[in-house]
Every structure is written in C-alpha cells, then in structure tokens.
Structure 1
Amino acid sequence: MHLEETVARRRRGARLEAELLEAAWAELIERGYAGFTLEAVARRAGTSTPVLYRRWANKQLLVEAALLHATSARPVETPDTGTLRGDLLASMRAANEARIDLLAAMTATLGAYFDEARTSPAQLRRQVLAGGPSAADVIFQRAIDRGEVDAEGLTPRIRALAFDLFRHEALTTLRPLSDEVIEEILDDIVLPLVRKA
C-alpha cells in the first residue's frame, strides 16, 4: 500500500473532500485550467488519483466542484440596513472583500475551461450559485415591502444592474473596487434609474 493511500484512508468523508477541493482550488489558481491535472491535485492533497476519480470523473467536474467549494467558503450575507442604498452598498462591499479573487480566477484561469465545456462565465455563475433568490432579488423585495420603490418597472435587468456593473469592473481590472467606484455605480447610475423606473 502506498503512503498516499494510507494517509487518504485516515481522512474520510467531508474532511477529505474539503481538503481535496482546497488542493484543487490552489492548483487552479496557481496553474490555470490548461495546466490543471488531477495528478497534481492528488500530490498537493497527499493522496492518489483514484481517490479523486472516485468522486469526480474528469478535471472539468473537479474544477466546477472546487469553484463551488471556494464560493461556499466565502459566504456573503445579504445585509438589511433599512434602505435600498444601504443594502446594495453593504452587499457590494462584502462581495468586494470576500469574493473578488473568485471573479479574478474566473477570468484569468478558466478560459480553456469555457472552451472545453462549451459554456460561458454567466452559465458557470448560474450553476455555482443555483438555488434560491439572488442577493439583488432579496434586497429589492425588501425595498418594495418597505414602500421605498415600486415593483412596476423594476425589470430583472434593472434589479441586477448594480451587481452586473460591479462584476464588470472587477473582471476588467482584476482588483477590488474602491468605495468611490461602488458609490458611483449606485448614486450615479443604479439609484437614479430605479427611481425613474
């Protein structure tokens, strides 16, 4: 029996899976999708490739699982500050702090993944964040319930606009947004449009 297999036998269940996914995420960030291999992930995790293949049939599935794990390890609570502007501002600041590296990774390292999987960043994002309403939906529903905005005219695109602009800025700069940029997105673009709607 190989040493790696002995170590893998001692780690089981959720603990083992979390360590495998953390190793996969580290490999992805370091080498990009093109240089990502299950063998390298196994070495980093101190296990063997059969341990990985029992859970994920190929590197595409392992990358998707690692991205989901990395996202769930950086939860962003939907704030309730009592105002639409306050909620949007707090939510964008929290995402800026907790998840900016995920956005950068999706841009900088996953180009080959999108080609191979025949998918897009938007589809991958929907897949990773599936299940439940978005932060924007929750925030706008609270604003509607408070009577702060009128539901009529609030199209799905208008509701998503603040976060779409946030993602665009993060993806094009590969850096966290400054408070000034976040406030500009809200005060100069999103909130005037919402009030008009």
Structure 2
Amino acid sequence: MPSSSSIKTRRRGAELEEAIIDAAWAELVERGYAGLTMETVANRARTSRSVLARRWDGKAALAVAAIRHQLAKHPLNVPDRSCLREELLEYLDRVSDLAPISGVVFSVALNGVFRETYASPQALRQALRHGRPDNLGLILRRAVERREIDPAKLVAPIETLLNDLIRHYVVMHRSAPPKDLRVAWVDAIFLPLVRPD
C-alpha cells in the first residue's frame, strides 16, 4: 500500500490544483475567511504549503480561485427561448441556485484582512466576473433584437435591476428569493419598464 507521502507526489497539474481549490472551498465554508490558512488547505488537500505558494501569492488569491471554481459549476447562460419573460425567469432560477455560494462570497468580502487585497465588494465582484460572460446582458440584447424591449428604455439602472434585486435579497436574507417573488420582479417591475409602448 502506498504511503501518504507517495500519494502526495503523484498528483500533478490540473488534478492537484483542483484538489487544492476544493480543499480551500471546504475550509471557507467550514471556517470562513478568518479561519482559512494555507497550511489547513494544504493539509486537507494532502499536499505541502510550498505547493500552494507556487500557485497563489496568498490566501486572498486562493479564496478567489476557490469561489470562481464553484461559480463555474453553475453556469448562468440561458438558451434563446424566443421569449424574454421565460428567459428572465430561467436566469433568476439559475442565479438563485448560487445563493449558498453568494453567502460565502459576502462573508469573505466583509473580512477586514481580505479587504487589504480587495478593497471593496465591487473589486471582488470584478475579480470573480473576469472572463465570464454577461449572461443577463445577452438575454436583454436578444430581446431588443426581437423587439420585446425598447432599447431607449434600457438605461443603466434598469439594465442591472434584476441582478441588483436578487443580490440585495441574498445579502439581507442569506437565502435565495422565493419563486413567486422572482416572478413578481419580472412581471410587475422589470417588464413594464422596458416593453415598447
């Protein structure tokens, strides 16, 4: 039977990196950012601290990598359904599935030590969105092309309204908004603001 040290040396590249990132996520969920250390992550991933240090320049970068990895497991892209309402509701369903991850993100963003690297929640948000598509924007552009939205009404505060509403709800309630509320956001608030006259 191989020793634990030989197991450590066999994993390389993507396999090792994924084990480390999964370990970092587990530590974030269990201990929060304050309890996350490179050493505990290395121990959980059955590797050495120096292996982590070669890939990430500190625990903030490792935490961001772990969060990005979780987000990638839950894609927000919605296929063209030829119906704005249907696409928006599907998009909000997918974003709602991210509520547990968002709870961890918000707690990390509020940590004083983490803010030494990412000064604001907006800076963290930009780091997490880097290289990821604007899925809501794509839905809205398709609806403009189908003439379901008046482009003159799609001003900046309206364009981000659904994301802002769901983000606020998750921050305040630490859970996903209920389905009936998401339907009301779309039917009673968003669609009346953007439909052509």
Q: TM-score, normalised by structure 1?
A: 0.90
Task: Quote the Cα distance in structure 2 between the aligned partners of 1:181 and 1:158.
Answer: 18
Task: Quote the Cα distance in structure 2 between the aligned partners of 1:110 and 1:6.
Answer: 37
Mapping for residues 64-143 of structure 1, pairs under 5 Å? 64-97=64-97, 99-112=98-111, 113-131=113-131, 133-143=133-143
Extract structure 1 runs of 4+ deviating beyond 6 A: none
Mapping for residues 2-41 of structure 1, pairs under 5 Å? 5-41=5-41
Deviation of 1:62 (Å): 0.8
Task: Quote the Cα distance in structure 1 between the aligned partners of 2:65 and 2:86.
Answer: 33
- Partner of 2:191 in structure 1? 191
Task: Quote the Cα distance in structure 2 between the aligned partners of 1:45 and 1:32.
Answer: 17
Secondary structure class of the residue paired with 1:80 = coil
Query: Which is worse superposed, 163-172 or 36-45?
Result: 163-172
Task: Quote the Cα distance in structure 1 between the aligned partners of 2:8 and 2:75.
Answer: 28
Task: Quote the Cα distance in structure 2 between the aligned partners of 1:76 and 1:118.
Answer: 24
In the alignment, structure 2 segments of 5+ residues that lack a partner are none
In the alignment, structure 1 segments of 5+ residues that lack a partner are none
- Partner of 1:182 in structure 2? 182
Q: Percent identity?
A: 37
- Partner of 2:149 in structure 1? 149
Deviation of 1:195 (Å): 2.6
Query: Which is worse superposed, 50-59 or 112-121?
Result: 112-121
Post-superposition CA distance 1:144-167 (Å, at most 9, x none): 111111212312321111111011
Q: Letter of the 2:26 partner, please give it.
A: A
Does 2:48 align with 1:48? yes
Secondary structure class of the residue paired with 1:74 = coil
Task: Quote the Cα distance in structure 2 between the aligned partners of 1:101 and 1:23.
Answer: 17
Q: Does the aligned pair in 2 maintain the 1:29–1:109 contact within 8 Å? A: no
Deviation of 1:118 (Å): 4.3
Task: Quote the Cα distance in structure 2 between the aligned partners of 1:76 and 1:83.
Answer: 17
Task: Quote the Cα distance in structure 2 between the aligned partners of 1:102 and 1:52.
Answer: 23
Post-superposition CA distance 1:23-66 (Å, at most 9, x none): 00110111111111000001111111111111112111111111
CA-based RMSD of the aligned residues comes to: 1.9
Q: Does the aligned pair in 1 maintain the 2:148–2:195 contact within 8 Å? A: no
Secondary structure class of the residue paired with 1:152 = helix
